[in-house]
Amino acid sequence: MEVLRQAIASPENLQGRHISVALRCRRCGSAIETIDHILLTCPFARAAWLGTHMAFTIPEGDNFQLHQWLLTLSRSPYESKSQRRKVFSFVSFMCWTLWTTRNALYFEGKAGSLMEIIIKAEKAFRWYQSSMDVFNDQATSSTIMSSSSSNWFLLASETYKLNTNAAFTIDNRAGGI
Ligand SMILES: [Zn+2]
């Protein structure tokens, strides 16, 4: 599944769809809740990033944007390609966890503590890493290249791509991603 910036139903985007919602962030109450605020610049998000094993420090400023940070991360030196992949994998899991936790707060009233968020993202990341280790042990490099390269394409700048799975009940009354 591909989630684009404008497809995410934050209050900022919902307003453009003429849906009346409170614009202020429910975590800090001091800023308009944009995607960049939810995932990066909210004090809650900043503390979560810093509390991870990678101890990310999000640059100062309320207007700092996710695509800027990803660009900065992509230009940083890494020990290896593997390390670079790990960083971006973990960033993906943190973004996903912050987003789903935000939705749990809005739609289910579950606040979720800082520690719960960090542990959830860390667990998902470690599970993914161990799965990838098994996969890499079993597959030959030529098989990986031929199966993945045919589907890969360069995204336009300021475009976010998030791969995930969806599940639905048999009667299709409920679903989730
Ligand atoms: Zn906030």
Contact 38, 45 (CB under 8 A): yes
Any domain includes 155: no
Local confidence band at 111 (pLDDT 50, 70, 90 cut-offs): confident
Per-state percent for the chain, helix, strand, coil, to nearest 5: 55, 5, 40
Residue 71 included in any domain: yes
107 CA distance to ligand 1 middle (Å): 17
CA of 66 to the centre of ligand 1 (A): 15
Distance, CA 61 to ligand 1 centroid (Å)?
A: 13
**Minimal CA–CA distance to 164: which of 7, 36, 45, 21?**
7
How far is ligand 1, taken at its centre, from the CA of residue 37, in Å? Answer: 6
Question: What is the 58 CA–ligand 1 centroid distance (Å)?
Answer: 14
161 inside domain = no
Ligand 1 center to 144 CA (angstroms): 41
CA of 56 to the centre of ligand 1 (A): 18
63, part of any domain? yes
pLDDT for 112 equals 84
Average pLDDT, the chain: 79
Domain interval for residue 97: 35-138
Distance 163 CA to ligand 1 centre (A): 25
The answer to whether 106 touches 63, Cβ cutoff 8 Å, is no
Asked if pLDDT for residue 44 goes beyond 90, the answer is yes
| Nearest CA-CA partner of 38 in 102, 122, 97, 115 | 102
Is residue 128, in this structure, part of any structural domain at all? yes
Arithmetic mean of pLDDT, 44-63: 92
Q: How far apart are CA 164 and CA 177, in angstroms?
A: 7
Tens of pLDDT, residues 121-172: 999 999 998 887 777 666 655 554 554 555 666 777 777 766 666 666 666 6
Inside any domain, residue 28: no
What residues form DSSP beta bridges with 24? 32
* 40 CA distance to ligand 1 middle (Å): 9
Confidence of residue 14 (pLDDT cuts 50, 70, 90): low
Q: Are 58 and 64 in contact (CB under 8 A)?
A: yes
Please state, in angstroms and rounded to a whole number, the distance separating the CA atoms of residues 52 and 156. 29
Distance 34 CA to ligand 1 centre (A): 9
* The pLDDT value given to residue 130: 87
The answer to whether residue 177 is domain-embedded is no
Number of domains in the chain: 1
Say if 166 falls within a structural domain.
no
What pLDDT does residue 52 have?
Answer: 95
